[in-house]
Amino acid sequence: MSGALVRIEGSSLEARADAQGHFAFAEFPAGPQVLVVSAPDYARVEVEVSAEPTSPLRVELPWAELETAEVEVEATRLPPGAVSTSVLGVEDFEAAPRRNAEDFLRQVPGLTLVQHGSEGKGHQFFLRGFDAAHGADFAVDVEGVPLNEWSNIHAQGYLDLGFILPEMVESIAVQKGPFTLDQGAFAVAGAAHYQLGVPDARRGWRSAYTLGTTNRHRAFLGWSPRDTTREDFVGVALMHDDGYGDGRRIDRASFNGRVLLREGARSKTHALALADHAVFELPGTVRNDDVESGRIGFLGRYDEAGRGRSSRGLLALDTRAQVGDSTVRSLAHLGWRGLDLTENFTGDLLDPIHGDRRRQHQEGWSYGYRAELETPLTPRLSFRTRLGVRGDLIEQREDRLGRELEIVGTRRHTEFSQLLLTGAAGLRWFATDTLQLDAGTRIELAHASVSDRRGGGGTQLGSHLRALPRVGVTWAPTSSLALVGSYGRGFRPADARAFANFEAGETGVEEVSGAGTRARPTLSDSGELGLRWDPRRWFGLSASGFATSLQRESVFDHVSGVSVELNSTRRLGGELVVRSNPLSWLWLRADLTVVDARFVESGAPVPFAPWLASAFHARVASKRGMTAGVRLIALAPRNLPHGARGATMLRTDATWGYAWKRLRLAIEAENLANLMIREGEYHYASHWDPEMPPSQIPTLHSSAGPPFNLRMTLGGQF
């Protein structure tokens, strides 16, 4: 049953069931606890949980008209990939600083985010040895609507979550590896699923104002109905920030809203609207040798013309229904996107006369529809199927700009349409009380029609059909131990530019390049073995080993300005997460991810992605309204192109909050030790000094992470 609300009695902790009826708490207080389960047209039930709080439960709700209600609670098993799946809730969000919806993902074990622009530009993602660039190998959806921009002009799979208001995020589930039927295009390294909503304790009118040491001013106003089961909400935010260094100024306006359009006896239809417009500066990267010589500051920039403009709107219509014993969902969505970026990463290296500035511009529409069905065949066997389509109608243009920002040449100008058809079917079988099997296959058919508007290119067509099997086995011999094995095939469709007469030109990663730009999809085969062990109420751990074989690596290259396809790679690694709740008001977590990522033929390490990532999180929550959190992140030196190595990265962040009646004060502190954080590190040639002859020898470049800074938010609820 989707949408059922599960609350822990006497607390503000709650969870909402997803499309498959699954619910999970990111943290769980010491037992015994009483779960209060409610849903429209069903009787409210209470379930006392006296066993280990991590044990999965099956809860059946009776019809509201029945005079008596019996609640069946029995052991069920974790879905495939659940050992490495992270579920973040409101309590997790408040335990670490966040500027936007992307920053929540920094709390996921092994997931690293890099921002080499201001907040208006999408992040880069690194996960389990993958340089997922701006989203090429990391899929993200909001309420089931896919957000990766298939053939964005800046980078394939481009992600920009700026139009999601952090105040409206209810939970995030991050799955590593392509192990479930829900994971489609771009979920090669993993996927994140954003669920929006407002907890019961925060319904009504909400307002907040944020002040920051970077001259940050952000105003938020939101509303959601109080004392009802309706899931409506609306929120708007206006923000200005000068940024923590040169070229990081941003002005942004965002809107999020959801309304219940129709509610039947066993169905609901919601409409969701998200919109955002941002104007921002872009700092680019700086050469490490120029920083060391004092020619430029660590937080400086070379080119004051770096700037961007981003606009995005999304409308979705979501219908969920119970038809007999089956769960049915219908999701339609329509979106508009505008993006304009002016950047220069190489100075005058490629064009000594005009300089290397480039302007990337894109406008277009996206659309999609998906239908899902889950039905029980027997008490132990259920069937899932889904059919979907998503497409884009886009115009792109990339121009070379001169000293006065005049156009001196056009690298590409294309119009194209893309279509991705998806079919999936799978079975879930509880073979015994301790053994669960999941198996299924996704079929992906990608088609593109690309017209080169520069003249003479004509129109190119292409299609690809691929099958993506998924298998999972879960054995839970006791309530405190679960062993999971998973296999899945990931899929990255070909970028539209591969169908046009476009050449990447000079790149900074030649020694491992060789796949070219031919229009062909990329497949991966991934496997994971893991266990989750919770021997005590206050202690638990999960451990997993994983392996991935990737047909073609994709790396964003700053010299060519595009994601460049490289040769095949493989990854071997492991992940360990330790959790503890030693006191009722204290939660602790430590994690470590180690991975060896290499090219198959040469044995050279895959560039950019860290081989070791580790973090420690502590969260405090008192009954008197005080909360606090500390996060420590450590990354080992990253391997870079041409045999270079990056630097170790250490970062410590903290939060503190206090709620009194209807008011709340929150303070966020980033980089408490005020270290020089090289968040992004790159190795390529550039030329910024006109008094020196240009050199093709690569050198280290960095994009700076935030120095020590503070933000204070005062909020009210009415």
For 545-580, how does the pLDDT look when each residue is reduced to its tens digit (9 = 90+)?
999 999 888 776 666 666 677 889 999 999 999 999
Whether 510 shows a pLDDT value over 60: the answer reads no
pLDDT at 74: 35
Looking at residues 455-472, what average pLDDT do you find? Answer: 86
Give the CA diameter of the chain: 88
Whether 248 shows a pLDDT value over 50: the answer reads yes
pLDDT at 332: 98
Find how far residue 547's CA is from the centre of its chain. Answer: 21
Q: What is the CATH number of the domain that holds 129?
A: 2.40.170.20
> 291 and 262 in one domain?
yes
Dump pLDDT digits (tens) for 2-54. Answer: 667 888 876 657 777 765 577 877 666 766 777 888 876 566 787 877 545 44
Strand partners, 413: 397
> 433 and 339 in one domain?
yes
Looking at residues 512-526, what average pLDDT do you find? Answer: 70
Tell me which DSSP letter residue 230 carries: -
Whether 717 shows a pLDDT value over 80: the answer reads yes
The whole-angstrom separation of Cα 337 and Cα 276 is: 10
Domain residue limits at 27: 1-76
pLDDT at 70: 39
Q: Which residues of 417-434 are buried (b: 16+ CB within 10 A; e: fewer)?
A: bbbbbbebbbebbbeeeb
465 in helix, strand or coil?
A: strand
pLDDT at 210: 98
Are residues 411 and 396 in contact, defined by beta-carbon separation less than 8 angstroms? no
> 35 and 125 in one domain?
no
> 357 and 475 in one domain?
yes
Angle, CA of 613, 704 and 151, to the nearest 5°: 75
The whole-angstrom separation of Cα 713 and Cα 235 is: 17
Looking at residues 500-522, what average pLDDT do you find? Answer: 59
Decide which of 41, 76, 111 is a domain's last residue: 76
> 88 and 68 in one domain?
no
Among 159-163, 242-246, 503-507, 669-673, the minimum mean pLDDT is found in 503-507
> 439 and 584 in one domain?
yes
Q: Which of 210, 206, 186 is nearest to 198 (CA)?
A: 206
The whole-angstrom separation of Cα 292 and Cα 300 is: 13
Q: Which of 358, 349, 361, 354 is nearest to 701 (CA)?
A: 349
pLDDT at 114: 84
Q: Both ends of the chain: CA-CA distance in Å?
A: 32
pLDDT at 165: 96
pLDDT at 67: 37
Torsion over CA of 267, 273, 274 and 277, rounded to 10 degrees? Answer: 180
Find how far residue 687's CA is from the centre of its chain. Answer: 34
Is the Cα dihedral 88, 93, 95, 97 positive or negative?
positive
pLDDT at 6: 85
Look up residue 694 and give its two tokens: 């240009």
Dump pLDDT digits (tens) for 325-370. Answer: 899 999 999 999 999 999 999 999 999 999 999 999 999 999 999 9
Q: Ranked by mean pLDDT, which of 18-22, 87-91, 453-457, 628-632 comes out on top?
A: 628-632
pTM of the model: 0.88
Decide which of 30, 52, 76 is a domain's last residue: 76
Q: Ranked by mean pLDDT, which of 47-61, 309-323, 453-467 comes out on top?
A: 309-323
> 435 and 574 in one domain?
yes
pLDDT at 16: 78
Whether 705 shows a pLDDT value over 90: the answer reads yes
Q: What is the CATH number of the domain that holds 38?
A: 2.60.40.4130
pLDDT at 63: 57
Look up residue 113 and give its two tokens: 């985010």
> 371 and 348 in one domain?
yes
In this structure, the number of other CB atoms found within 10 A of the CB of residue 717 comes to: 18
pLDDT at 635: 94
Residue whose pair of structure tokens reads 């690298």 in the numeric block: 411
In this structure, the number of other CB atoms found within 10 A of the CB of residue 303 comes to: 19
Q: Which residues of 41-79 are buried (b: 16+ CB within 10 A; e: fewer)?
A: ebbebeeebeebbbebbebebbeeeeeeeebeeeebbbb
> 117 and 65 in one domain?
no
Provide the CB-side half-sphere exposure for 32 (13 A, CA). 7
> 634 and 700 in one domain?
yes
Whether 262 shows a pLDDT value over 80: the answer reads yes
Task: Work out how many domains the chain is built from and give that number.
Answer: 2
- The percentage of the chain sitting over the pLDDT mark of 90, rounded to a whole number, equals 66
Are residues 313 and 336 in contact, defined by beta-carbon separation less than 8 angstroms? yes
Looking at residues 139-167, what average pLDDT do you find? Answer: 93
Query: Confidence band (pLDDT; 50, 70, 90) for 206?
Result: very high
The whole-angstrom separation of Cα 460 and Cα 448 is: 8
107 in helix, strand or coil?
A: helix
Looking at residues 662-674, what average pLDDT do you find? Answer: 96
pLDDT at 226: 85
pLDDT at 591: 96
pLDDT at 565: 73
> 109 and 31 in one domain?
no
pLDDT at 30: 63
Whether 394 shows a pLDDT value over 90: the answer reads yes
> 381 and 419 in one domain?
yes
pLDDT at 2: 62
Looking at residues 266-279, what average pLDDT do you find? Answer: 95
Whether 442 shows a pLDDT value over 90: the answer reads yes
pLDDT at 27: 64
Look up residue 228 and give its two tokens: 């009802």
pLDDT at 518: 61
Are residues 119 and 98 in contact, defined by beta-carbon separation less than 8 angstroms? no
Decide which of 76, 101, 134 is a domain's last residue: 76
Whether 687 shows a pLDDT value over 70: the answer reads yes
Could you check whether the bond before residue 80 is cis, i.e. omega within 30 degrees of 0? no
Q: Which of 33, 5, 48 is nearest to 584 (CA)?
A: 33
The whole-angstrom separation of Cα 615 and Cα 387 is: 39
Give the mean pLDDT of the chain. 88
pLDDT at 422: 97
pLDDT at 21: 72
Are residues 622 and 597 in contact, defined by beta-carbon separation less than 8 angstroms? no
**H or E segment at 93?**
helix 90-93
Looking at residues 394-413, what average pLDDT do you find? Answer: 94
